[in-house]
Amino acid sequence: MKKCQLFYFFLTAILCIGLISCSDDDDDDVIRSNEKKITEFAINAVKAEIDETNKTIILTLPAETDVTKLKPQIKVSDKASVTPASDVETDFTKPVTYTVKAEDGSTQAYTATIHVIKLTPFLISKIKVNDGQTPGYIQFTYNDDNTLAKYASYTDDGKEYELCEFTYDSPKRVTEVKLTSEGEWYITYLYEVFV
C-alpha cells in the first residue's frame, strides 16, 4: 500500500512540474521587432522622397492641389503601425508628424511636408506677324492681375492699324471687347455674364 501511495505521490509531482514548466513566461524569450520605418509615402500615385537621416518626407504635388484634404498611402516596416494611419484625410497646410510604432513598442517620428507647384503666368509681350497681307507685329499689354488689357497690331514701320481692348468683371470674366481698326471705326462687344 505504501508503494502505491508513493507511486501516486511521484506521479502527481511529475505532473505538477510538467504543468509549471508550460506556463506563459516563455514570452520573455521572444524577440520583438524594433523596425519602425516609413518605407513608402504617396498621394494620388505621386511618391514622396523619404530622408531616413533627417526623418523627413517631402512631396511635391501639381498646381492648385487642395492640401487641406489629402489621403496619403503609407507603407511601414513589417509588424509596425503608423499614426495618423494610411488613407486618413489629413490637412497639410502645415507639416504633419507621423509616428511609427515598432512591434517592441519603440517609436520614430517623421515630419511630412507637402509642396504645391506654383504656376508662373506666361505673358507674351510681342509677336512678329507676316500673314501675307500686312506684315508687322502684335503687342500685348496686361493688367496688374495678368489679365489681357489690350493688344495692338502694328505695321513693320510702327503704324498702329488695329487696337483691341478688354474690360473684365471682378472674377476676371470679359464683359466688353472694344475693337478699333485704323482709327476710323470701332466695334464694342458687350457680354452678358450668367452666374
Q: Distance between CA atoms of 61 and 93, rounded to whole angstroms?
A: 13
Whether the per-residue pLDDT at 47 is higher than 70: the answer is yes
Neighbours of 39 (CB within 10 A): 14
Whether the per-residue pLDDT at 17 is higher than 60: the answer is yes
Neighbours of 42 (CB within 10 A): 14
Residue 195, pLDDT score: 39
Pairwise pLDDT comparison (188 vs 125), residue with the higher score: 125
Residues for the chain: how many in total? 195
Residue 149, pLDDT score: 80
